[in-house]
Amino acid sequence: MASILKTLKLISDPSRLRLLLLLEREELSVAELQEILAMGQSRISTHLSQLKGAGLVEDRKQGKNSLYRICDRQLIDLLHSAASEIPEAKDDARALQLVLEKRQDKVRGYFDELAGKFGRDYVPGRSWKGLAEMLLQLMPPMVIADLGAGEGTFSQLLAQRAERVIAVDNSAKMVEFGAKLARDNGIKNLEYRLGDLETPPIDDTSIDLAFFSQSLHHALHPERAVAAAARLLKPGGRIVILDLKKHSFEQARELYADTWLGFSEVELRGFLESAGFKAVQSWVVDREAQSPGLETILAMGIKSA
């Protein structure tokens, strides 16, 4: 084992301890560690160099990348004991699982590229609208809650096939506008209700699908909004969240009254898992080409039966 004093000094740093806890679970590249820890490449490389110099980690080449792992197994018990003192450790474990899923999902990158080409060039009869209409027709009739619906654009689309749609928003003007639009267009299975995301005015266990479309980042306590949605769902019901990936476009607070500057996939998965959802999944489904280059995450889960 490396010098005990040197080892203790190195792992007393919380960032290096987080690195070691991850490398104890899995071999990881610098890029993967960046994604998990949200640290800069140079900072991570410096930590790894120090740990490698002390004989605590080693690396091996895999193609163009180097994968790092713990080489001093006597550290493991000590790391596990220290993990409880690192508040970020649980989120790091979630982020690690996400990175490992992405490793296995080699097809996703291809479809991301393919989706970006769809509609770029004019092809008669091919459009996102046509594709969306087709997919809506394949959706089984369900009772759907559109939470933070705004004027209810999605609610009106979903009502084409849904058994019933309840659109909830905390703006009386939005609810009034949406309700009038539904009446004017003869949409009888769409109801607008005034209410808050954290306490939606819907009976418990009455909904098949709870839907947040770019609304969760307006919630004061997003984790409470997700927990509230779980209460509304029937056993086996699903939750779908479309929201912005965490970003640094501060102007969004003023321009769009955003409370949160998006969420990471780890945060969204954490909200869902804490609310008791199973089979939690998430994907980055859109990346804007123009500045500020915002990205959109799709996250889903199923309520336990």
Give the distance, in angstroms, between the CA of residue 207 and the centroid of all CA atoms in the same chain: 22
The whole-angstrom separation of Cα 121 and Cα 135 is: 22
Note whether residue 91 is domain-resident.
no
Note whether residue 209 is domain-resident.
yes
CATH of the domain at 25: 1.10.10.10
Q: Is the domain of 69 the same as that of 142?
A: no
Contact 141, 167 (CB under 8 A): no
Q: Is the domain of 81 the same as that of 120?
A: no
- DSSP 3-state of 175: helix
- DSSP 3-state of 219: coil
Note whether residue 249 is domain-resident.
yes
- pLDDT of 188 reads 95
Q: Is the domain of 129 the same as that of 9?
A: no
Between 41-53 and 30-37, two packed helices, what is the crossing angle to 10 degrees? 120
Q: Is the domain of 22 the same as that of 67?
A: yes
Alpha helices in the chain (DSSP H): 4-11, 14-25, 30-37, 41-53, 76-83, 89-104, 106-117, 128-138, 153-158, 172-184, 222-232, 251-256, 265-274
Q: Which of 22, 53, 86 is the last residue of a domain?
A: 86
Phi-psi category of residue 142: left, alpha or beta, with phi > 0 → left and psi -120 to 50 → alpha: beta
Q: Residue 83 corresponds to which tokens in the numbers above?
A: 């993990």
Give the distance, in angstroms, between the CA of residue 72 and the centroid of all CA atoms in the same chain: 34
- pLDDT of 134 reads 87
Q: DSSP character for 239?
A: E
Q: Is the domain of 71 the same as that of 151?
A: no
Residue type, 38: A
- pLDDT of 118 reads 67
Q: Is the domain of 59 the same as that of 176?
A: no
The whole-angstrom separation of Cα 12 and Cα 75 is: 13
The H-or-E segment that residue 298 falls in is strand 295-303
pTM for the model stands at 0.73
Longest dimension (CA), the chain: 77
Note whether residue 118 is domain-resident.
yes
Domains contained in the chain, number: 2
- pLDDT of 88 reads 87
- DSSP 3-state of 91: helix
Residue 125 CB partners (closer than 8 Å, separation 6+) = none
Instruction: Tell me the residue range of the domain where 253 lies.
Output: 108-303
Q: Is the domain of 113 the same as that of 82?
A: no
- pLDDT of 63 reads 80
- DSSP 3-state of 137: helix
85 phi, psi to nearest 5 deg = -95, 0
- Please give the chain's pLDDT, 305 residues, in tens: 456 777 778 888 899 999 999 998 899 999 999 989 988 999 999 999 999 988 889 999 888 889 999 987 777 777 777 777 888 888 898 889 888 887 766 656 666 666 666 666 767 777 777 888 888 888 899 999 999 999 888 899 999 999 999 999 999 999 999 999 999 999 999 999 999 999 999 999 999 999 999 999 999 999 999 999 999 999 999 999 999 999 999 999 999 999 999 999 999 999 999 999 999 999 988 888 889 999 999 999 999 98
CATH of the domain at 260: 3.40.50.150
Residue 260 burial (C-beta neighbours within 10 Å; 0-12, 13-18, 19+): middle
